[in-house]
């Protein structure tokens, strides 16, 4: 039913009035904003490692009984790996290596903080990995553009599948926002949210659906994760701050979808062949 509604043009009126104008006005700035949002959680966590050095080290040492030296190495790797990766991505230098390094940080933290056994945090980490996958696909495009005119064999295939994988992983963030109760607001939110994430996953009206999800997630982020309203000495401040910047990173991934499109493995791309 949702696809019929979209195809009938009800979803397209906004496209012609606001969406296309938005893309024209922001096409030169959107990719930069997307990258900044995407790395924001790594930037915040790297800075956190500096200011909470002793607390982070003591937590790892107590949790894993790994000794002072290994716990210190863990904090140092997180600090240098995240801040270094952010600097490389923002400066557009060695972006692919920076992405792989941040993938490693996600994996390391997933194990060290026992996120593997917490479905909500695991899905959010996977969504964060989806954003990095989209950034990796973008960096491959930039690298190929330097060799324009040089023939390659199936050069776009890896990029297309990375974009598909990135889109699918990104929507896992929204799975954690669904509320399973009988209230009218929750039902409407779940139906609309599920419809939008399906559109992004299959690549149908992808840019418009992704932009709508950006607005929705940003609104929820401001409402539910207002860490600035909590005193800094309370533990809840850090929890909300972590969730806020993770959500901002997923927003960055969605903005990359808005800026670059869904890629070749999508219904939008297949429509061009019909």
What are the φ/ψ torsions at residue 177 (nearest 5 degrees)? -100, -5
Gap between the Cα atoms of 243 and 223, Å rounded:
12
1-16 residue pLDDT tens:
444 444 444 444 445 4
- Is 139 in a helix, a strand, or coil? helix
Cα angle: 39, vertex 41, 46; to 5 degrees: 95
Gap between the Cα atoms of 81 and 46, Å rounded:
8
Gap between the Cα atoms of 141 and 135, Å rounded:
10
Residue 149: per-residue pLDDT: 43
Gap between the Cα atoms of 20 and 26, Å rounded:
10
Q: Where are the alpha helices (DSSP H) in 171-234?
A: 172-175, 184-202, 206-224
Residues of the chain with pLDDT under 70: 1-20, 141-156, 179, 272-274
Residues 6+ apart with CB under 8 A from 80: none
What are the φ/ψ torsions at residue 133 (nearest 5 degrees)? -65, -40
62-94 as b/e: b if 16+ CB within 10 A: eeeeeeeeebbebbeebbebbbbbbebbeeeee
Q: What is the pTM of this model?
A: 0.84
Report which of 234, 216, 231 is spatially closest to residue 171, judged by C-alpha positions: 216
- Is 13 in a helix, a strand, or coil? helix
20-37 as b/e: b if 16+ CB within 10 A: eeebeeeeeebbeebbbb
For residue 205 the two structure tokens come to 């009206």
Gap between the Cα atoms of 37 and 50, Å rounded:
21
């Amino acid at each position: 039913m949702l696809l019929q509604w979209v195809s009938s043009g009800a979803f397209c009126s906004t496209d012609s009035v606001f969406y296309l104008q938005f893309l024209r006005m922001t096409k030169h700035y959107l990719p930069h904003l997307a990258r900044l949002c995407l790395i924001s959680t790594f930037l915040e966590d790297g800075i956190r490692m500096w200011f909470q050095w002793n607390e982070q080290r003591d937590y790892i040492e107590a949790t894993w009984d790994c000794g002072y030296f290994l716990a210190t190495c863990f904090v140092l790797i997180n600090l240098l790996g995240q801040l270094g990766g952010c600097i490389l991505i923002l400066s557009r230098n060695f972006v692919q290596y920076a992405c792989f390094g941040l993938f490693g940080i996600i994996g390391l933290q997933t194990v060290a903080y026992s996120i593997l056994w917490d479905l909500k945090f695991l899905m959010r980490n996977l969504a964060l990995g989806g954003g990095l996958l989209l950034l990796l696909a973008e960096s491959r495009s930039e690298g190929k553009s330097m060799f324009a005119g040089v023939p390659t064999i199936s050069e776009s295939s890896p990029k297309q599948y990375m974009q598909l994988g990135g889109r699918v992983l990104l929507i896992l963030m929204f799975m954690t926002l669904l509320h399973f109760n009988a209230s009218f607001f929750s039902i409407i939110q779940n139906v609309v949210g599920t419809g939008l994430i399906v559109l992004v996953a299959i690549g149908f009206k992808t840019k418009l659906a992704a932009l709508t999800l950006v607005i929705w997630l940003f609104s929820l982020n401001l409402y539910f994760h207002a860490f600035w309203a909590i005193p800094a000495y309370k533990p809840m401040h850090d929890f909300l701050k972590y969730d806020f910047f993770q959500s901002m990173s997923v927003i960055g991934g969605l903005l990359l979808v808005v800026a670059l499109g869904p890629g070749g493995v999508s219904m939008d791309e297949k429509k061009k062949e019909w």
